[in-house]
Amino acid sequence: MGGQKKYLITSAQACASPHKNFLSGLEKYANDREAEIIVLPMIGESAHEDIIERQDKNGVPYGGLHKSFEKYGVEFDKRKLNDNIQIVQFHVRPYQIDPLTGLSRFAQRETTQVFASPKQRVKAIPHSNNQIPKLLVTTGACTHPNYASGSDSSAERRRLGNIARGDHTYGALVVEIESEEIFHLRNIRANNDGKFVDLGRKYDGNKVSKAELEAIVFGDWHVGYTDPAVKKANYEMIKELKPKRIFLHDFFDGHSVSPHRDKKLITEQIMEGVDKNFSSLEQELSDCRDELIQLDDSMKGREIYVVASNHHEFLDRYLDEGRFVKDPYNARFAFRLSTKLSEDKIPIEEGMKMVGKVPKGVTFLRREEDLKIRGFQLGSHGDKGPSGARSSVNSKENDYGRSITGHVHSLEVQRDTYIAGTSTPLTIFYNKGNPTSWTNSNILLYETGTAQFVNVIFGKWRVR
């Protein structure tokens, strides 16, 4: 292969009409960026509408893709894009509610797998104790919905057809090949009118304009454990994309007050605490404040939101349980800070203010607060489910509808539910030795009400 290459990968249903404005936008994008458009075929309303055009006994043609797709590269089989990503055809039914069902083992065995579906679904699959995980990724479609809905269909097929129509996504994937081993992957989501955005450039057919970036939701930050290369890339994204807002999850790591360290003298108190200077609560909060000042300078006064998160609540628990009375190293500072908790104030916010001034553009969200932008819930960390249960991608979709959350450190997309990754290394002391599904992934939310995931790979987030 050799050299850099760019691909736009989408899918088309048999016997379905193309979304002309969306396709025009893809063509404009491909011309501007010297990218190849690849179309992956899917069956239509039923298996009778197969991806290959056939003739019945009377010579009448049926099945097959719309004639307009003949000018693109239609991929019916498997295609290797580089050593770590390939197109495959699992021939998943367009009706399938979760197109990844039963397929995780194929990414684990081989490479990142891209395949056709009228839904956009992404899941990271571990395959190593320290390597970037593989992904299972579906495309979205460039054709209008073609599902059973008429009275001539069975009740069950009409039910599935109505669900599939509601889930139908106009979309594509951008794959940028940097080398034989390294690629950059992100999604494109189009509105019903076919407009889509990639890294701030909006395509409306042949018209290209700048799109306002409503927000970047960064992968969990964890000050003190942030990967320097990922941090540099995050700041680059702020500078180049100029978001109106940024959202920070697990910004305060809380190692100095973690409830997990008390019974681990060697590994957590000495090696991760004393040896790395992570034992001081005051210093940890001071480091967080310094980072907020840098972020505020980069944002030039635009909005910064610190989302209430489970690592932040390490400090709440530390104060509420009175553990500081047996922690002479942090006791004086914690005694003063504990009064703020008794006044129902946010401990990490008040702790940072105790060491210095916090920028005016920073807002610390409470657990009970909603913050919705363009219909997306951005005020939830994503660790809590309904009735005290743990959260999952399914519960998030049921609880919030559209949302962008964090917590699990692993990119996942299910329709309009997005989960960001982490800004830390993919392995740190507490997940060492476990097969890792962690990814360095951020989520962008645009004025069009569409979201896009962006991965940081070895410090880079796109091909220039």
| Same domain? 189 vs 229 | no
For residue 462, tell me if it sits in a domain. Answer: no
Q: Give the end of a domain, one of 169, 189, 210.
A: 210
For residue 94, tell me if it sits in a domain. Answer: yes
Q: Which residues neighbour 412 within 8 Å (Cβ) at sequence distance 6 or greater? A: 122, 123, 124, 393, 418, 419
| Same domain? 79 vs 192 | yes
Q: Which residues neighbour 300 within 8 Å (Cβ) at sequence distance 6 or greater? A: none
Sheet holding 171-177, edge to edge: 73-74, 36-42, 5-13, 171-177, 183-189, 451-455, 441-446, 213-217, 245-248, 303-306, 362-364
For residue 363, tell me if it sits in a domain. Answer: yes
| Same domain? 412 vs 265 | yes
For residue 464, tell me if it sits in a domain. Answer: no
Structural domain including 260 reads 216-455
Report the CATH number at residue 257: 3.60.21
Q: Which residues neighbour 82 within 8 Å (Cβ) at sequence distance 6 or greater? A: 1, 177, 179, 180, 181, 182, 183
Integer Cα distance of 446 and 167 in angstroms: 20
As a whole number of Å, the CA-based R_g of the chain is 24
Q: Give the end of a domain, one of 155, 178, 210.
A: 210
Q: Would you call 99 helix, strand, or coil by DSSP?
A: coil
CA 448 to chain centre: 17
pTM above 0.85, yes or no: yes
Q: With 0-12 CB in 10 A as exposed, 13-18 as middle and 19+ as buried, what is 438?
A: buried
Integer Cα distance of 160 and 11 in angstroms: 20
Integer Cα distance of 329 and 324 in angstroms: 9
- Report the amino acid identity of residue 251: F
C-alpha dist (Å) from residue 118 to 127, 188, 261, 449: 27, 13, 46, 19
| Same domain? 143 vs 288 | no
Q: Identify the pLDDT of residue 152.
A: 67
| Same domain? 85 vs 182 | yes
List, in sequence order, every residue forming a beta bridge with 163; answer none if it has no partner.
none
| Same domain? 220 vs 332 | yes
| Same domain? 260 vs 140 | no
Terminal-residue alpha carbon distance, the chain: 18
Q: Give the end of a domain, one of 210, 229, 258.
A: 210
For residue 109, tell me if it sits in a domain. Answer: yes
Q: Which pLDDT tens digits describe the chain residue by residue (464 residues)?
A: 446 899 999 999 999 999 999 999 999 999 999 999 999 999 999 888 988 887 767 777 778 899 999 899 899 999 999 999 999 999 999 999 999 999 988 887 789 999 999 999 999 999 988 899 999 999 999 999 999 877 667 888 889 999 999 999 999 999 999 999 999 999 999 999 999 999 999 999 999 999 999 999 999 999 999 999 999 999 999 999 999 999 999 999 999 999 988 888 787 888 888 878 889 999 999 999 999 999 999 999 999 999 999 999 999 999 999 999 999 999 999 999 999 999 999 999 999 999 999 999 999 999 999 999 999 999 999 999 887 888 899 999 999 999 999 999 999 999 999 999 999 999 998 888 888 999 999 999 999 999 999 999 999 999 98
For residue 460, tell me if it sits in a domain. Answer: no
| Same domain? 196 vs 223 | no
Token look-up 């679904």 returns 121
CA dihedral 379, 385, 386, 389 (to 10 degrees): -150
List, in sequence order, every residue forming a beta bridge with 31; answer none if it has no partner.
none
Whether the CA torsion 89, 95, 100, 102 is positive or negative: it is negative
Q: Identify the pLDDT of residue 1.
A: 42
| Same domain? 242 vs 197 | no
- 392 near 373, Cβ under 8 Å? no
Q: Identify the pLDDT of residue 14.
A: 95
For residue 463, tell me if it sits in a domain. Answer: no
- 51 near 41, Cβ under 8 Å? yes
Q: Which residues neighbour 278 within 8 Å (Cβ) at sequence distance 6 or greater? A: 224, 253, 255, 256, 272, 284
Whether the CA torsion 130, 454, 183, 104 is positive or negative: it is positive
| CA-wise closest residue to 269 among 329, 352, 334, 348 | 329
| Same domain? 301 vs 157 | no
| Same domain? 192 vs 236 | no
Q: Identify the pLDDT of residue 84.
A: 96
Integer Cα distance of 122 and 114 in angstroms: 10
Q: Identify the pLDDT of residue 132.
A: 94
For residue 348, tell me if it sits in a domain. Answer: yes
| Same domain? 144 vs 266 | no
Phi/psi of residue 281, nearest 5 degrees:
-65, -45
Integer Cα distance of 216 and 130 in angstroms: 27
Q: Which residues neighbour 429 within 8 Å (Cβ) at sequence distance 6 or greater? A: 267, 268, 271, 272
* Total structural domains within the chain: 2
